[in-house]
Structure 1
Amino acid sequence: MTPQAALVTGSSRGIGLAAAVALAQEGFSIALNGPVADDELAAAAETIRAMGVPVVTAPFDVSDIALHDSKLAEIEAEIGPLTTLVNNAGVGVMQRGDLLEVTEESYDRCMAVNTKAMFFLSQAFAKRLLSRTRDADAFHSIVNVTSSNAVAVAAPRAEYCASKAAAAMISKTFAVRLGQENIAVYDVQPGLISTDMTAPVIEMYDQRAKDGLTLFPRVGQPEDMGRIIASLASGKLPYTTGQAISADAGMLVPRF
C-alpha cells in the first residue's frame, strides 16, 4: 500500500490541527503549515510527532502564490510524495458590520487567502500528482474547508461569505477536472465550530444551538471536523467526489 502523506494548511491550531491529528491517527505522514515558524507551529509538530508518524513543518503564507511549487517540493523531499491536500487556511473579516462599510482591504484579504490561495495551491498540487506515475491502490484527494457561509448569508461578514461561496465553486470545478485522473475533491462546510476565529461570538451561538438553531443542540468542535476530513482523505466514502459536506449539525436543513 502506498504511504499516505498530507499537507494541511492553517494547521497550527483549530480545525487544521484537528485534521492533522485525525490524519496521523490514520497513518498519514503530515506537513503542518502556518504563516510563520512560531511556537504554535512547533507545538503542533510535537503533538503529531508524539503520534509516531513522520511530520514536517512548512511555514509559508499560502496567499504568496509564487511559493507554492517550491514549498510542495520541499515537503515531498522530507516526507515523500503527497497524496492529499487539505486547504484549511482561512481568515475572517477585519471588522464585522454593515456591508456598506466593508473596506477593499478586508475584501481583498478574504479573497486572497480563502479563495485565490486555495485555487492555486490546488492547481500546483494537482500538477505534481499528474506529473508522476501514481500507484493505483493509493487514494489521492483534495479536501477544501469552506463554510456554511458558502450557502447561508451572514450580512455582517459579507466579504467572508463571498470568498467562501467562490471557494465552494472552485471545489466543484477541480472535482470535474480531476475526476478523470482518479483524484477526489471535497468541500467540507463547517457550521458553528468553537475556534479562535469564532471565540468572540461562540457563547451566543452556543445558546442559539441549544435553542434550536442546529438540530444537534451544541456547537461543533475542531475534532468533529478533523474526523470528517480524515474520513474523506482516507477514501472511506468510496465512489464520491465533488460533494459539499454540510458539517453543521443540520443547521441549514429547511424547516417550517
Structure 2
Amino acid sequence: MSGGRRVAIVTGGSRGIGRGIVVALAGAGYDVVVNYASNADAAKAVCDNVVELGGRGLAVQADISLTEDRQHLVEETLGAFGRIDLLVNNAGVAPNVRADILDAGEESFDRLIGINLKGPYFLTQLVARSMIDQIAAGRIADPKIIVISSISAYTASTNRGDYCVSKAGLAMLVKLFTARLAEHGINVYEVRPGVIETDMTGPVKQKYDDLILNQGLTPIRRWGQPSDVAKAVVAVATDLLPFSTGQVIDVDGGFHLRTL
C-alpha cells in the first residue's frame, strides 16, 4: 500500500464552504486539488494556504456540468498525484433570480441541475471507477466520497424550486452510490449544511439575522460558518466514522429538529 499524504478533490474549492473544506483537509494531512469554475486568483490563493499547511495544492479549472471538464479534472489529479483518496462534491450555484415556481423558466432549471446534480452524479461515477482500480492496484485503501448538499434537500422554498430539486436529487445520489460502492470498501456520506454565512447567503443576511437571532429558526442561535461544515468533512476524511456509510450528517444548528 502506498504511503504518504492522501489526496482529495474539492469541487468549488476556491471560496465559501469549499475553501473552508480545502484548508481543513490540508491541516488534516491531505494534498488537495482545488477545482474552480472561473476565479483562478482565488483558487491559487487557496492552494497557497495548502502549501502553508505543509501540503501540495493544485488548482484545476473545470465546469463540472461538462463531460470533458470532469475528465480533465480527474486526469489532472492523477497526473499530478497518482491517486484519489477523497472526493468532496461541493460545487453548487443558486438561481440568478429567485422566481416563483409558477413563473420560473427552464434556463435556470437546466443550469442548476447541470451544475448541482448532473455534475456531481457523473463526477462521482468517474472518480469511483478510478478508486476501484486504485484499490485493486494497492495504491489506496478506504477511499471516501462526500456530497455537500443542503437543508433545501427537504425544505421547500417556492421561490427557488430548481435549487431545492437539485439538492433533493443529491440526497438520492448518496443512497445510490452508497449501495453500489460498499462492496468495494468505498464509503459515501452526505454532509447537509443549514444556513451558512458565505457570499451566497450575503444578499439575504438581514432576513436570516432576524430568523436566527430573534425568531429561533435554529436551536443554536448563530449563523453556521464554513469551518463548521469543514469539521464534519474532516471527521469523515480522517476515518472517524468507519462503520457509517450513506449517513446524513446535519450541520445546521439543529434546524432539522421538530419541536412542540
Calculate the TM-score normalised by the size of structure 2: 0.94
Query: Given residue 255 of structure 1, which amino acid in structure 2 is its aligned partner?
Result: T
Could you tell me which residue of structure 2 aligns to residue 202 of structure 1? Answer: 205
SS at match of 1:121: helix
Cα deviation for residue 79 of structure 1 reads 2.2
Measured in 1, the distance between the counterparts of 2:73 and 2:191 equals 24
> How large is the RMSD of aligned CA atoms in angstroms?
1.5
Q: Where in structure 1 are there 5+ consecutive unaligned residues?
A: none
Residue 88 to residue 137, structure 1, CA distance change in 2 (3 Å)? closer
Residue of structure 2 aligned with 1:161, choices 149, 160, 164: 164
SS at match of 2:36: coil
Measured in 2, the distance between the counterparts of 1:69 and 1:48 equals 24
Measured in 1, the distance between the counterparts of 2:105 and 2:256 equals 29
Is 1:125 matched with 2:148?
no
SS at match of 2:221: coil
Q: Where in structure 2 are there 5+ consecutive unaligned residues?
A: none
Measured in 2, the distance between the counterparts of 1:12 and 1:48 equals 12
Residue of structure 2 aligned with 1:224, choices 214, 228, 238: 228
Could you tell me which residue of structure 2 aligns to residue 145 of structure 1? Answer: 148
Calculate the TM-score normalised by the size of structure 1: 0.96
**Contact (CA 8 Å) 2:22, 2:46: kept in 1 or not?**
no
Q: How does 1:39-78 map to 2 (within 5 A)?
A: 39-78=41-80
Measured in 2, the distance between the counterparts of 1:104 and 1:202 equals 28
Could you tell me which residue of structure 1 aligns to residue 25 of structure 2? Answer: 23
Q: How does 1:81-100 map to 2 (within 5 A)?
A: 81-100=83-102
Query: Given residue 225 of structure 1, which amino acid in structure 2 is its aligned partner?
Result: V
Cα deviation for residue 192 of structure 1 reads 0.4
Measured in 2, the distance between the counterparts of 1:95 and 1:37 equals 21
SS at match of 1:99: coil
Measured in 2, the distance between the counterparts of 1:219 and 1:23 equals 22
**Contact (CA 8 Å) 1:171, 1:187: kept in 2 or not?**
yes
Residue of structure 2 aligned with 1:183, choices 183, 186, 206: 186
Measured in 2, the distance between the counterparts of 1:37 and 1:159 equals 25
Query: Given residue 239 of structure 2, which amino acid in structure 1 is its aligned partner?
Result: G
Q: 157-166 vs 59-68, which deviates more?
A: 59-68
Aligned length in residues:
256
Query: Given residue 167 of structure 1, which amino acid in structure 2 is its aligned partner?
Result: L
Cα deviation for residue 206 of structure 1 reads 2.3
SS at match of 1:156: coil
Cα deviation for residue 138 of structure 1 reads 2.9
Residue of structure 2 aligned with 1:80, choices 71, 74, 82: 82
SS at match of 1:201: helix
Measured in 2, the distance between the counterparts of 1:5 and 1:40 equals 20
Measured in 1, the distance between the counterparts of 2:244 and 2:202 equals 34
Measured in 2, the distance between the counterparts of 1:94 and 1:104 equals 13
Residue 134 to residue 186, structure 1, CA distance change in 2 (3 Å)? farther
**Contact (CA 8 Å) 2:6, 2:84: kept in 1 or not?**
yes
State the percentage of identical aligned residues: 36
